[in-house]
Amino acid sequence: MKPTNCDYTGCSVFVYDEQGNRLYDTKVTYHDKKRLRIEIEEPLDNLNAGGECGLLIMTSPTPCEYKGRIIRIGNRKLIAMYDGKESEKREESRYVVRLPAFIESYICDDIIYPLHTPLAVEMINISKNGARLLMPEYALSIGDRFWMCVRINNMYKSIIAEVKNQTPAEAEASEYGCRFLLSGDGGVCNEHERAG
């Protein structure tokens, strides 16, 4: 499905090279909807004019994917977008990221139990419906629900997630596959009550 005709200015965007390696985790600063061009906060030093790239724009409720080509307009480098589509609905359609995050609360029986010390984690990939976290081994169990804050472009996004699977990564850490239940810009979710 092609993405809706919306303004991407201010949206978070991940930029990938032709091999799928993530180059930038940044923000759209300018969007020309008529010519399908965007400008991002980063100077695009890793991409030359005429170079190809991939884009994942974090729009709500569904992220949008584009192919891109770097163009130069005067002193500016822009990305001309084409072949746009809404991000695939398959959960396994994942994108590599490295985002710092922390778990601030556990949720049990729809009651939020804040942690005295937030648990630092790292989001290592993301899809439309969930993410994979790298964190201390045995920190979570399958079925656990928690409130997590993820740092994207120097802002924190609040996410409620549920652990769906666990994969041992190394001796002192594990990877947890999580499904998103709710996301937003902060605040307490109305469907949960905070303990204490």
Residues 6+ apart with CB under 8 A from 4: none
pLDDT tens string 36-93? 999 998 888 777 778 888 888 887 666 788 889 988 888 888 999 988 776 554 445 6
**pLDDT interval class at 195 (50, 70, 90):** very low
d(CA 180, CA 129): 6
CATH of span 95-194? 2.40.10.220
pTM for this one? 0.52
d(CA 47, CA 58): 21
Question: Do the beta carbons of residue 145 and residue 161 sit within 8 Å?
Answer: yes
Domains of the chain, by residue range, sit at: 12-86, 95-194
**Among 98, 102, 114, 183, residue whose Cα is nearest residue 150:** 102
